[in-house]
Amino acid sequence: MANSTSGSIRRIAVIGNYLPRRCGIATFTTDLCESLVAADPALSCFAIPVNDTPEGYPYPPRVRFEIEQNELSSYQRAADFLNINNVDLVCLQHEYGIFGGPAGSHILALLRELRMAVVTTLHTVLREPDEHQRHVMLELAERSDRLVVMSNRAVEFLREIYGVPEEKIDVIPHGIPDVPFVDPNFYKDQFGLQGKIVALTFGLLSPNKGIEYVIQALPEVLERFPNVVYVVLGATHPHVRLREGESYRLSLERLARACGVAGHVIFHNRFVSLEELVEFIGAADIYITPYLNPAQIVSGTLAYTVGAGKAVISTPYWYAEELLADGRGVLVPFRDSHALAAAMIRLLEDEAGRHAMRKRAYLAGREMIWPRVAERYLECFQRAREQRSYRPRPAFQAITLSQRSGELPEIKTDHLRALTDDTGLLQHAVFTVPNYSNGYTTDDNARALEAAVLLEESGARPLPGERYLAFLWYAFNAERGRFHNELSYERRWLDEVGSEDCHGRALSALGLVLGRSRNAGLRGLAGRLFDMALPAVVNFRSPRACAFCLIGIHHYLRRFPGDRAAQNARETLAARLMELWKSYSAPDWPWFEPILAYSNASLPHGLLLAGEDMGRPDMVRTALEALSWLTEVQRAGGNHFVPIGSNGFYPRGGTRARFDQQPVEAQVTVSACLAAWRVTGDERWKEEAQRAFEWFLGRNDLGLPLYDPATGGCRDGLHPDRVNQNEGAESTLAFLLSLLEMREAFAVIDAGSHAHLRATQPAGISIS
């Protein structure tokens, strides 16, 4: 089969993690590269890994180029490298979490530039993707000549959920080493396990592995078979160790002692080589995968052990159901230690049945050994190359400026870090130097907390979210149920109670943490503070405070939709905005107040999210009408964004203030318009968001940029004759929040260039 590539495919690049990085994708990519070359020695195959640390890894010579996970430009450079090096085919190993951007969307920037055939191996296919995951998978499928999956269920998902034609998909098993069918006792003595019955679980440790249920099953097993030992092989997953240390492993050790089985559990805390792994698997009498998540479409560890002819007990996640069918293993319910114990006892009592199961598994595994898998990949590559020759794609795509978003600046947080000290975020700066005399505000620390959450999602260098949340915790007066706002540099509160707007901004930030952060520590404290701060908001009269709270409640209810107190608060605040609308709106003034003041776009933004979430079309229509009018007013007869000036605002029937123009107005407009785009799918809202964002970059009344690319800061405002050169917290955060939202919105789809993706977007999605 290897010869089928002669005269066509001679040079292959494989993109994915690579050893010595410690993860399953790295092992798979390394094994695939080596197996391809072994199958066809004339083939040139090199790897392009993705680095999750700045220092990278000591890769072998097969690695020719490295991608920095969170640097979009690095993906574009990789595409250039592939194009100029006459690569015939790229084989991409896809897993959402290994690439930068929302749902790993940075990899699309690379694929869009490639000129050669592309085969993508999907290591995850989600049954219930979120908006970003769906868009990434759809474009990934479009830009790949063929897709490789490792199970029939993955084919079903691609066909039914993502609309991928079945003829574009190849099912190729997960590769495994070719090992002999041997008696486990052959290997036991080298581990000091002679005379023992060995149960094994291996793989990188993380809390979703379910190992605690095996430990809880052991006392029952040991009553019948006292010579059983349970070996847990593998280091803690590097990302888990960074976030949580060794807490999961230590909890398992405590559990083993509490269950009285510490003498029967062995933790081998290492990432072992393939040679060592084969010997550990060889020594096992029973292999156990007690995973907790049913939504797992492939498992390399399960493939390895089935192919080695092990007796396997597993929970019924998707891949296990398929691989262990027809008597190749035993399935037990999730989180059921008694069922695990019963299955272990049954297998150990029935030696003949156990060995028959082993033989069935081993014979099925012959189709999974790497030499056979490599042959099937080469056949797939040839089909992809032939299909590309029938349907060549242009190297250049003619996308006009009106069809795509402008180039977005890189994320830079240097100035915010300079404004952050041990207390929190300082309010003002003199030029770029922090100004201690003005102290801190809850307003700014709440905004900084929001930025920290969005930075966490984007994969960019994080901000100290814990410090900003600690400031909010300190600012909350539990007796009054309200937040202070102004804190002096000497840490003295300068107010008895902060404004309603300050409280609303704090609640908005807390809701964002609870709805979107992956940091369990942040969510824990934010949850307590959200519950304490929520009761006061039902009495708020400030329309902006109502709107800020609605935005925060929207995020909160995405994760906790059953919280009745939050639902009630949402209904009350949304009704209050509607009451204001009825009181003040008119055909020539469709607004909530008799004045356009500050943070104006927040009002329709909050009402829009509430109306969409509550199924209230009247609220959605009102919000869109108000936002549409506001965006017209903020163009002031021209084509660029002109926010309401803070030097007098714009009273109904009065004179509109043109200056001073504040960055926060651009930020809330960007956020509101992107929410309107997501709710309606109307492209004009995306254009309005772009218009407001470009105000920061110089598309404004003076043609002067407010964003400072040298520091990552933003200047404090636009005066009639100049830019305010001070770079305070509010202004800098206004730019950063706008940039993060724009990057999130445009990372997945270039404006107008993938209309079919928008057509598949579920109706009613609303994300602020």
The better pLDDT of the pair 237, 219 is held by: 219
Residue 768 lies in a domain: no
Q: What is the CA radius of gyration of the chain?
A: 29
Return the closest-CA partner of residue 91 out of 162, 9, 157: 9
State pLDDT tens for residues 373-383.
999 999 999 99
Helices (H) and strands (E) in the chain, counts: 28, 25
430 with 281, same domain: the answer is: no
State pLDDT tens for residues 437-492.
999 999 999 999 999 999 988 877 889 999 999 999 999 999 999 999 999 999 99
Q: Which long-range contacts (CB under 8 A, 24 or more apart) does 151-156 make?
A: 151/297, 151/298, 151/318, 151/319, 151/322, 151/323, 152/322, 153/297, 153/318, 153/319, 153/321, 153/322, 154/122, 154/125, 154/297, 154/298
Return the closest-CA partner of residue 307 out of 370, 231, 226: 370
Say how many C-beta atoms besides its own lie within 10 A of residue 639's C-beta.
Answer: 8
Cα separation, 49 vs 69, whole angstroms: 9
Residue 762 lies in a domain: no
225 with 168, same domain: the answer is: no
- Is a pLDDT exceeding 90 seen at residue 208? no
State pLDDT tens for residues 345-362.
999 999 999 999 999 999
What's the pLDDT score for residue 457? 82
136 with 203, same domain: the answer is: no
Task: Categorize the per-residue pLDDT at 393 as very low, low, confident or very high, splitting at 50, 70 and 90.
Answer: low
What's the pLDDT score for residue 765? 26
Residue 487 lies in a domain: yes
What is the average pLDDT across 278-284?
87
What's the pLDDT score for residue 764? 30
193 with 171, same domain: the answer is: no
What's the pLDDT score for residue 392? 56
Q: Tokens at residue 51, please? A: 């680095």
Task: Categorize the per-residue pLDDT at 592 as very low, low, confident or very high, splitting at 50, 70 and 90.
Answer: very high
What's the pLDDT score for residue 287? 94
302 with 321, same domain: the answer is: yes
Cα separation, 98 vs 239, whole angstroms: 11
207 with 223, same domain: the answer is: yes
Cα separation, 329 vs 305, whole angstroms: 11
pTM of the model: 0.61
358 with 234, same domain: the answer is: yes
Q: Which residues contact 607 (CB under 8 A, 6 or more apart)?
A: 547, 550, 574, 577, 578, 619, 622, 623, 626
70 with 200, same domain: the answer is: no
Say how many C-beta atoms besides its own lie within 10 A of residue 255's C-beta.
Answer: 16
The CATH number covering residue 354 comes to 3.40.50.2000
CA 353 to mean position of chain CA atoms: 44
Residue 135 lies in a domain: yes
What's the pLDDT score for residue 576? 98
What is the average pLDDT across 22-32?
93
**What is the average pLDDT score of the chain?**
90
The CATH number covering residue 532 comes to 1.50.10.10
Q: Which residues contact 43 (CB under 8 A, 6 or more apart)?
A: 2, 5, 9, 10, 11, 12, 36, 37
Q: Where are the alpha helices (DSSP H) in 88-210?
A: 106-111, 131-143, 152-161, 185-188
Return the closest-CA partner of residue 689 out of 405, 285, 374: 405
Cα separation, 437 vs 160, whole angstroms: 61
What is the average pLDDT across 612-632?
97
Residue 398 lies in a domain: no
Residue 9's Cβ-count burial label (10 Å; 0-12, 13-18, 19+) is buried
Contact between residue 446 and residue 474 where contact means Cβ atoms under 8 Å apart? no
What's the pLDDT score for residue 261? 95
CA 736 to mean position of chain CA atoms: 19
State pLDDT tens for residues 302-346.
999 999 999 999 999 999 999 999 999 999 999 999 999 999 999
Q: Which residues contact 242 (CB under 8 A, 6 or more apart)?
A: none
- Is a pLDDT exceeding 80 seen at residue 242? no
| Phi, psi for 386 (deg, rounded to 5) | -65, -40
User: What is the percent of the chain with per-residue pLDDT over 70, rounded to a whole number?
Assistant: 94
3-state SS string for 260-301? CCHHHEEEECCCCCHHHHHHHHHHCCEEEECCCCCCCCCCHH
The better pLDDT of the pair 365, 189 is held by: 365
Domain that holds residue 19: 2-175+371-390
What's the pLDDT score for residue 236? 84
Cα separation, 731 vs 420, whole angstroms: 15
- Is a pLDDT exceeding 60 seen at residue 756? no
The better pLDDT of the pair 498, 234 is held by: 498
What is the average pLDDT across 702-729?
94
What's the pLDDT score for residue 391? 62
E strand or H helix at 344, and its extent?
A: helix 337-349
- Is a pLDDT exceeding 70 seen at residue 140? yes
- Lowest-confidence pick of 248-262, 392-406, 531-545: 392-406
Residue 701 lies in a domain: yes
What's the pLDDT score for residue 405? 46
Amino acid at 476: F
- Is a pLDDT exceeding 50 seen at residue 188? yes
User: What is the percent of the chain with per-residue pLDDT over 90, rounded to a whole number?
Assistant: 76
Cα separation, 694 vs 706, whole angstroms: 10
- Lowest-confidence pick of 59-68, 219-228, 294-303: 294-303
Q: Are strands 433-441 and 486-487 parallel, antiparallel or unpaired?
A: antiparallel
- Is a pLDDT exceeding 50 seen at residue 398? no
What's the pLDDT score for residue 295? 85
- Is a pLDDT exceeding 90 seen at residue 296? no
* Number of structural domains the chain divides into: 3
| Phi, psi for 666 (deg, rounded to 5) | -65, -40
What's the pLDDT score for residue 289? 94
State pLDDT tens for residues 212-234.
999 999 999 999 999 999 999 98
DSSP 694: H
- Is a pLDDT exceeding 80 seen at residue 749? no
Q: Tokens at residue 281, please? A: 């698997």
What's the pLDDT score for residue 406? 52
528 with 633, same domain: the answer is: yes
Return the closest-CA partner of residue 32 out of 21, 18, 20: 18
What is the average pLDDT across 615-620?
97
- Is a pLDDT exceeding 70 seen at residue 755? no
377 with 254, same domain: the answer is: no
383 with 349, same domain: the answer is: no
386 with 410, same domain: the answer is: no
